[in-house]
Amino acid sequence: MILKEFSNPFYRDGYLLSKKGKVLFITKYLPNIYIYDIHQKGFERKVRFDQSQIEEAPAQKLSNGAKAIYPPTKVDIATEDAIHLFQKPNSVFLLSKGATDNRSYNLDKLYEFDLKREKFVNTYDLGTKVDEITSNKNYVFAYSKQKSKIFRYKIITTE
C-alpha cells in the first residue's frame, strides 16, 4: 500500500517530525500523516486530515528513454510545514494553504490536528503570512519572507 502511494516522487515530498517514540511524515501535496512506531520499527497507521483533489501532469518519455515526472498541476491543499509541541503530545500543527469542501487553509494560521481523535481541534491566528515554522519546548517560531522577520509565539494549553 505505502509503496504504491509513494510511486510518484512528488508524493514523497513532506515533513518529518519525531516525538515520543513516533515518527510522523506529513506529505506536502496530499493531506496524509503517516505514523511510524520507533520501538516496533514499523508503519503504524495513516491518518487523512481532509479530502483533497489533485490534478497530475502526465509523465513524458524523453528522447533518451528516460521518463520525466512533474509535480501536480493543481492541489486543493498544500502543507508548507508542520511541527509538534511538547505540551500537546497528541497533536500535530500544520501550516497549510488551499481549500476543500470542509475548510480553508491560510498561511497566516496554524491548524492543530489531534491524532488520537483524528480531527482539527484548534486554529491559531499568526497575524501574518509565514513560510516556515519550527518549535522548541516553549515556543513556536515562524519566519515570514513577506515581513523579513522571525516571530515567536507561545501556545497556551489548558490540558
Assigned domain for 46 exists? yes
CATH classification of the domain holding 75: 2.40.128
Assigned domain for 158 exists? no
| pLDDT score at 19 | 82
Task: Decide the pairing of beta strands 109-114 and 104-105.
Answer: unpaired
Identify the burial level of 82 via C-beta atoms within 10 angstroms of its C-beta, where 0-12 means exposed, 13-18 middle and 19 or more buried: buried
Assigned domain for 159 exists? no
Assigned domain for 132 exists? yes
Assigned domain for 98 exists? yes
Contact (CB, 8 A) for 13 and 7: no
Q: How many domains does the chain have?
A: 1
Instruction: Encode pLDDT of 83-116 as tens digits.
Output: 999 888 899 999 999 999 999 999 999 999 999 9
Assigned domain for 41 exists? yes
| pLDDT score at 159 | 58
Assigned domain for 38 exists? yes
Q: Tell me the one-letter amino acid at 90.
A: N
Contact (CB, 8 A) for 128 and 108: yes
Task: Count how many Cα atoms sit within 13 Å of the Cα of residue 45 in the half-sphere of its side chain.
Answer: 6
| pLDDT score at 55 | 87
Long-range Cβ pairs for the range 16-24 (8 Å, 24+): 17/82, 17/83, 17/84, 17/92, 19/84, 19/89, 20/89, 24/82, 24/84, 24/92, 24/115
pLDDT tens-digit profile, the chain (159 residues): 555 677 778 888 899 998 888 999 999 999 999 999 988 878 889 999 999 888 888 888 888 888 888 888 899 999 999 999 988 889 999 999 999 999 999 999 999 999 999 999 999 999 999 999 999 988 999 999 999 999 999 987 665
DSSP state of 132: E
| pLDDT score at 137 | 86
**pTM of the prediction?**
0.88
| pLDDT score at 3 | 59
d(CA 48, CA 31) in angstroms, rounded, equals 6
Q: Tell me the one-letter amino acid at 40.
A: Q
Domain that holds residue 13: 2-153
